[in-house]
Structure 1
Amino acid sequence: MMQGIQINSAQSRAKLSLPSMIKSIKSNRNLIYQMSKREILGKYKGSALGILWSIITPMIMLIIYTFIFSVVFKAKWNHGGDESKYEFAVVLFAGLLTHTFLAEVLNKSPGLITGNVNYVKKVVFPLEILPVINIVTCCFNALISIGVLLVAILLVKNDIPWTAIQLPLVFFPLVILASGLSWFLASFGVFIRDIGQSITIFTMVLSFLSPVFYPISAVPAILRPWLMLNPLTFIIEQVRNVLIWGVNPNYLGLLLYTLCALAVCWLGYAWFQKTRKGFADVL
């Protein structure tokens, strides 16, 4: 009897492990692909331009930012060197798309389970892939925005730095972190329904607590260490380094960030798997 309990306990711990998380994603990759594809296409279903809206929307936003900050405010980032009047908008957009990716993931996460109650009732359905599908669809939107940004950089600077090829290396740690947070919030969203509204406010505030609209140098020195505690700050700076300034990323910083992100990702997955048994009772 005791041996059976020990075996069940060991199997339960194995389901919460990092290898179990990777195995689940790998074994369900086709389902993730199909559901992500359906989610992306379904967003624009019935519209005249369809998926082209995913390109048009960031283009319009970039044009608006360029006009407001470069033409109206004549803002300068003061990064050094000759800065054209349009460069501020490009630098701002690089920070904004990074924040938008994380904000979109977090805002959608609390409703992933409550919005798919029919999947909760199906014992065989792998609920843990819903946050992964959320990540994939948000990554798709981010890729479109990055494509628009690269075209804008080419038009503004007449060149794209070779360091831009390192963008996946810079962005991937944020994807890992967002995955863990998505698992956490998807679970919390079942038991605490107010968390959806709270996260919306939080992500809005986060945009002003991140160096999206201003350089870090504009923040008083005494407050900069607190700004660096924001998980977006480091990634936004590295995205700008490789895409705009042509500077190699901080490899050591990315390594440390990735390790922390992996810890959050595993904890989020483990928490989700641990609490999923109570989803059906609440819903």
Structure 2
Amino acid sequence: MTNSSSSTVINPHAAQPTSLMALAKSIWRNRQLIVQMTKREVVGRYQGSAMGLIWSFLNPLFMLAVYTFVFSEIFKSRWGGIGGDDSKTQFALVLFVGMIVLGLFSEVVSRAPGLILANVNYVKKVVFPIEILPVITMGAALFHSLISLGVLLTAFAIFNDYLHWTVIFTPLILLPLVIMTLGLAWMLASLGVFLRDVGQTIGIIITVLSFLSPVLYPVSAVPERFRPFIMANPLTFIIEQAREVLIWGHFPNWLGLGVYTLVATIVAWLGYAWFQKTRKGFSDVL
């Protein structure tokens, strides 16, 4: 993301719009640029490797195979509510759903503090809508999540000989998480310019969240007195709802999704507004 053919100088101190409408217009106006740079981001990750994009498929396939072996043959784990002889392999599928959600969130958030630092020339020298950098990162993360989701659905169909039709609700489950994560990414991208320790702190927070999210265990396994802390984790609801539609074949919690989407939209707006308000100081620091 560090090359550009344009050399037009802009005023980095100019006031920038902060409304949700301005955000939507920016994304729509730059949609082709977002698509092109997302493709470059995805391809660039595997540039120089012999198998290229094939790794985006092999990585989740390998991880699912490892989860299945470890939890079915070593831990002999079972998930509450799963019965039958296939419960051990089903455990790996249930766990993998949580890993997909966690991976989508953590990939974007962990990279956010360094986005502006890695694209200094976009800030100082050329006409470039730097507010789309988190959107590009999210696009690349979504690509890998979709590949992992395809692996999950294929494995589920192989193990069970069917797929729940409720999988069609998966985009609606992930959408509020995408919105909220973008808001956090805008805020962290800004903070990462002024506070270089943010990147290290976020790594610790993501590690903590990975253990405080119901990825390796069901919420029902958490002692009652600690459940409010687990439920306060913004990943918990999305992970649970993703399992409802992908694994159990249930309808989503529409009311919960509506509330989550509203809160996520507020977070996105606040993050975007913060980014736009502080971006005029980027060139001074960088």
User: In which range does the TM-score fall when normalised by the shorter chain?
Assistant: over 0.9
The 3-state SS of whatever aligns with 2:118 is coil
- Decide whether the 8 Å contact of 2:15 with 2:280 is kept in 1: no
* Aligned-residue RMSD, C-alpha: 1.2
Query: 1:220 matched to which residue of 2?
Result: 223
Please list, as runs of the form range in 1=range in 2, the aligned pairs for 1:268-279 lying within 5 A after superposition: 268-279=271-282
Aligned to 1:194: 197
* In 1, Cα distance between equivalents of 2:85 and 2:198: 42
> What is the aligned counterpart of 1:251 among 239, 247, 254?
254
Per the alignment, residue 242 of structure 1 pairs with 245
How far apart in 2 are the matches of 1:112 and 1:214? 33
> Structure 2: which 5+ runs fail to align?
1-13
Task: Tell me which residue corresponds to 1:72.
Answer: 74
Structure-2 residue corresponding to 1:40: 42
Structure 1: runs of 5 or more not aligned: 1-10
2:108 is the alignment partner of 1:105: yes
Rounded Cα–Cα distance in structure 1 between residues aligned with 2:83 and 2:92: 16
**1:12 to partner: Cα distance:** 5.2
- Correspondence for 2:58 among 50, 56, 59: 56
Aligned to 2:211: 208
For residues 225-262 of structure 1, give each alpha carbon's deviation from its aligned partner in whole angstroms, at most 9, with x where no partner exists: 22111000000000000000001010000000000000
Q: Is the 8 A contact 1:76 1:83 kept in 2?
A: no
The question of whether the paired residues in 2 share the 8 Å contact of 1:211 and 1:233 is answered with yes
| Deviation by residue 1:48-77 (Cα, 9 ceiling, x = unmatched) | 100000000000000001000011111000
- SS for the counterpart of 1:86 is helix
Q: Is the 8 A contact 2:113 2:190 kept in 1?
A: yes
* 2:183–2:271 CA contact under 8 A, matched in 1: yes
1:124: Cα distance to partner?
1.8
> 1:122 Cα shift?
2.7
1:135 to 133, 138, 146: 138
Please state if 1:126 is matched with 2:125: no
**Equivalent residue letter for 2:174:** F
Residue identity over aligned pairs, in percent, reads 57
Q: Which amino acid aligns with 2:130?
A: L
CA contact (8 A) 2:82 2:90 kept: no
What does 1:5-20 align with in structure 2 at a 5 Å threshold? 15-20=17-22
**Higher RCO (C-alpha under 8 Å, 6+ residues apart):** 2
The runs of at least 4 consecutive aligned structure 1 residues that moved more than 6 Å come to none
Task: Please report how far the alpha carbon of residue 82 of structure 1 lies from its aligned counterpart in structure 2 after TM superposition.
Answer: 2.9
